[in-house]
Amino acid sequence: MAVQYQDYYEVLGVGRDAEAKDIKAAYRKLARKWHPDLHTGKKKKDEAEEKFKQINEAYEVLSNPENREKYDRLGKNWRNGDNFTPPPDWGEGVRYYSAGDGDMGGFSDFFETLFGTGGRRTAGPDMGGYNSRPMRGQDIESEIEVTLEEAYHGGTRSLSLTSSKACSACQGRGIVDRGFCSRCGGTGSIPERKNLEVKIPPGVSEGSIIRLKNQGGEGYAGGTRGDLHLKVRISPHPIFTVKGSDLESEVVVMPEQAVIGDKISAATIDGNVNVTIPPGSHSGRKMRLKGKGMPKKGGGRGDHYLVVKIDIPQDLTEEEKQLYASLKDLRRK
Ligand SMILES: [Zn+2]
């Protein structure tokens, strides 16, 4: 039984070493160009239908690793349209089916001889020949901005994400039997908006990753979804500066508090604490509140540093002015 050899690489205009993405790109471009609905006039339409059929057939073979490998084994010595007799060792691949229901559905005798009708992707993802092995979906990376308080205490955050999934109407090909897939508009994927409740574990730090299992890209042929990786960014805090696992904040005191010392209340990430300003504190003095910082990776907590800032009062009363004047006189004696 002699059939005509089809050079699928030539049909798609790609090299024999073309990568999957190049094959897909070439296919999409040609399928758009030769789509029968885009051509008018009997002769032109017939030509387009023939081309469109060839393009689809070539893509069926070259986009499927098993089919492509089998096809490549035929070697390069055949030319498009040559009479070709399948070698006797083709085993069960040599099955002859009459082509589809006529119309545009049929593939060439060559194709049917090589792969049987079961090799057709359009027969559904579970049919033999088509690569139907389950594949896990891709992991998706994104970011989540949290407040310092959320990073410390943990919390829950609603997150709205836009990703895309393979169009189920066309199995991600963008093309259905007779034209562009109307569901995805020929792009092969449809946007998917997801609302997620994200649990922020206590003690996350800048750059740490929150992993959400099975919230990533859609799996293929029954494969599990990938994971979603959220990289934590901590938004700037109005009071605290983050330095690794340590925190720092200013504590503003009056000159007399700095001179003779005082007890004050200072804010920390887990509430106010009473702090003693030692007598003779000058501007820039750092006071360490041990273990009042952020959680450390290996356990324990960093420290909180209070930095003294002396504020010079601008609104002195008459009495205060006199007291300062007295102080000045005393210092001169
Ligand atoms: Zn589609």
- Range among 8-22, 63-77, 112-126, 265-279 rated most confident: 265-279
Output the CA 125–ligand 1 centroid distance in Å.
14
Q: Could you tell me the distance, in angstroms and rounded to a whole number, from the CA of residue 121 to the centre of ligand 1?
A: 14
CA distance 71 to 53: 18
- 124 CA to centre of ligand 1 in angstroms: 14
**49 residue type, one letter:** E
Is 135 within 8 Å of 221 (Cβ atoms)?
yes
Please check the confidence at residue 283 and state whether its pLDDT lies above 90. yes
Indicate whether 10 pLDDT > 60: yes
Q: What is the structure's pLDDT at 16?
A: 87
Lowest mean pLDDT among 29-38, 132-141, 188-197: 132-141
242-258 per-position pLDDT tens digit: 999 999 999 999 999 99
What pLDDT, on a 0 to 100 scale, did the predictor assign at position 235?
A: 94
State the distance from the centre of ligand 1 to the C-alpha of 70, rounded, in angstroms: 28
On average, the pLDDT of the chain sits at: 81
Residue 322's H or E segment, with its range, is helix 318-332
Ligand 1: distance of its center to the CA of 325 in Å? 85
Closest to 268 measured CA to CA, from 243, 240, 309, 244: 240
Residue 220, pLDDT score: 66
**Which amino acid is it at 256?**
E
Query: Is 130:116 a contact under the CB 8 Å cutoff?
Result: no
Is residue 114 pLDDT above 90, yes or no? no
Task: State the distance from the centre of ligand 1 to the C-alpha of 181, rounded, in angstroms.
Answer: 4
8 Å CB contact between 197 and 182: no
Q: What angle do CA 53, 54, 60 make, to 5 degrees?
A: 90
- CA distance linking residue 226 with residue 208, whole number of Å: 19
239 CA from centroid of ligand 1 (Å): 51
Query: Across residues 173-195, what is the average pLDDT?
Result: 78
**pLDDT at residue number 132:** 46
Of 70-79, 120-129, 142-151, which has the strongest mean pLDDT? 142-151
Strand partners, 307: 250, 286
Helix axes 42-62, 20-33, angle to 10 degrees: 170
List the one residue out of 89, 90, 117 whose CA is nearest residue 101: 117
Cβ burial of 201 (10 Å; 0-12, 13-18, 19+) is exposed
Distance in Å, CA 176 to ligand 1 centroid: 7
Range with the lowest mean pLDDT among 10-19, 123-132, 146-155? 123-132
Question: Which has more confidence, 67 or 229?
Answer: 229
| Cα separation, 63 vs 4, whole angstroms | 21
Q: What is the pLDDT of residues 301-310, one digit of tens each?
A: 999 999 999 9
Domains located in the chain, CATH noted: 3-123 (1.10.287.110), 140-234 (2.60.260.20), 241-332 (2.60.260.20)
pLDDT for 160 equals 83
**Residue (of 116, 2, 136) closest to 60 by Cα position:** 116
Instruction: Name the more confident of 117 and 183.
Output: 183
User: Rg for the chain (alpha carbons), in Å?
Assistant: 36
At residue 67, what are phi and psi to the nearest 5 degrees?
-65, -40
Q: Output the CA 78–ligand 1 centroid distance in Å.
A: 35
CA 222 to ligand 1 centroid distance, Å: 18
More confident residue, 317 or 297: 317
| Ligand 1 mean position, distance from CA 69 (Å) | 27
Q: How confident is the model at residue 279 (pLDDT cuts 50, 70, 90)?
A: very high
- Supply the pLDDT for residue 2: 66
Q: Give the DSSP letter of residue 118.
A: G
* Better-scored residue on pLDDT, 220 or 182: 182
DSSP one-letter code for 295: B
Q: How far is the CA of 54 from the centre of ligand 1 (A)?
A: 20
Give me ligand 1 centre to Cα 190, in Å. 8
215 or 100: whose pLDDT is higher? 215
CA of 122 to the centre of ligand 1 (A): 13
Q: How confident is the model at residue 222 (pLDDT cuts 50, 70, 90)?
A: low
Is residue 177 scored above 80 in pLDDT?
A: no
Higher pLDDT, 110 or 152: 152
- Burial class for 99, CB neighbours closer than 10 Å (0-12, 13-18, 19+): middle
Whether the pLDDT of residue 170 is over 60: the answer is yes
Task: State yes or no: pLDDT of 269 exceeds 70.
Answer: yes
Residues in the chain: 333
| Residue 119 confidence (pLDDT) | 41
| pLDDT more than 90, % of the chain | 38
Distance 19 CA to ligand 1 centre (A): 22
Calculate how far, in angstroms, residue 220's C-alpha sits from the geometric centre of ligand 1. 15
Asked whether the CA dihedral 286, 290, 294, 300 is positive or negative, the reply is: positive
CA of 191 to the centre of ligand 1 (A): 11
The Cα 164–Cα 193 span in angstroms is 8
Distance from the CA of 180 to the center of ligand 1, in angstroms? 8
